[in-house]
Chain A
């Protein structure tokens, strides 16, 4: 009980902004890169991404390489949504939602928001797997009956 009270107190000492930042730190990362792919900055909250520093992300990440055209033509208000990507963020294999938009203060830079949704999508994948297997089973059974 005492521990619980201490824990609660430590949370209550945070402002809501701090609390939000704390939660987001464990689920999201922002990476900024030039339109030619050169990584400029990262908040490193999910992964250190050290191997990408001062390099073109296009050389390391085929998904981004295949989107170069989109980045060079991205509109001021446009947000490119690429949800549910099975991806390895450095050593972290998982499911991520990606969004790309122009930097609000510098349109030469692209802001890549990486949201780790692994827990949610793994749950969804298990359900989808079960559903698909049931559909397959049903189809094969129907085919067997009609043959």
Chain B
């Protein structure tokens, strides 16, 4: 599914517990908006956005998957064929990251070929001191805020770059 008329197309999934901000991150990235109220995602919603990496156009097809504490419960067909995924935690809620090492391990088994990024979201809710004191089991690749937009574009672009680079090295 990699090649489209425009360039390269990649499926990515956003995963993590409920209310960590997966849908808000996608909304910020795709439409530049931040939803005013929390609305639970159920099942699946698919969005897409095209990013430009130098001369290369990359279409990211983003599967927004309902929050799930136990990844085993995610339907396997939601994850099949994913080139990459972003595991999102809410920095302000320990319950969303206390088991993240185990959750990531399970996801790696379910998507052995997919590239992974970890996002520590809701950065805006913590002070610098609180951020420094956090001891997450897995260090996030990006500290993001869907509310302010901080690091959101950077994170999606970085994942696109990783996926393109992966193509180049495996070709």
Contacts and interface: CB of A to CB of B under 8 A. Distances in A.
Interface of A: 62-63, 65-70, 80-87, 95, 121, 124-125, 128-129, 132-133, 135-136, 139, 143
Contacts of B81: 66-67, 69-70
Nearest to A80: B77
A111 to B, nearest CB: 16
A102 B4 CA distance: 23
Interface in B84-109: 93, 95
B18 A82 contact: no
Q: Interface range on chain B: under 10, 10 to 19, 20 to 34, or 35 or more? A: 20 to 34
A97 to B, nearest CB: 9
B100 to A, nearest CB: 16
A125 B43 CA distance: 9
B77 A86 contact: no
B18 A81 contact: no
A5 B126 CA distance: 67
B9 A83 contact: no
Given A69-B1, A121-B43, A82 B78 contact: yes
30 contacts: A62-B47, A62-B48, A62-B59, A65-B4, A65-B61, A66-B11, A66-B46, A67-B1, A68-B1, A80-B77, A81-B75, A81-B77, A82-B77, A82-B78, A84-B66, A85-B44, A86-B45, A87-B45, A87-B46, A121-B43, A124-B42, A125-B42, A128-B40, A129-B40, A132-B40, A132-B67, A135-B19, A136-B19, A136-B38, A143-B93
B168 interface: no
Contacts of A83: 43-44, 75
Interface of B: 1, 4, 9, 11, 18-19, 38-48, 59, 61, 63, 66-67, 75, 77-78, 80-81, 93, 95
Given A70-B81, A132-B19, A135-B18, A125 B40 contact: yes
Given A65-B61, A69-B81, A139-B93, A86 B9 contact: no
B143 to A, nearest CB: 19
Contact of B61 (A66, A84, A132, A136): A66
Given A62-B61, A70-B80, A85 B11 contact: no
B78 A63 contact: no
Nearest to A97: B43
Nearest to A130: B40
A85 B46 contact: yes
B61 A63 contact: yes
Contacts of B38: 132-133, 136
B9 A95 contact: no
Contacts of A67: 1, 81
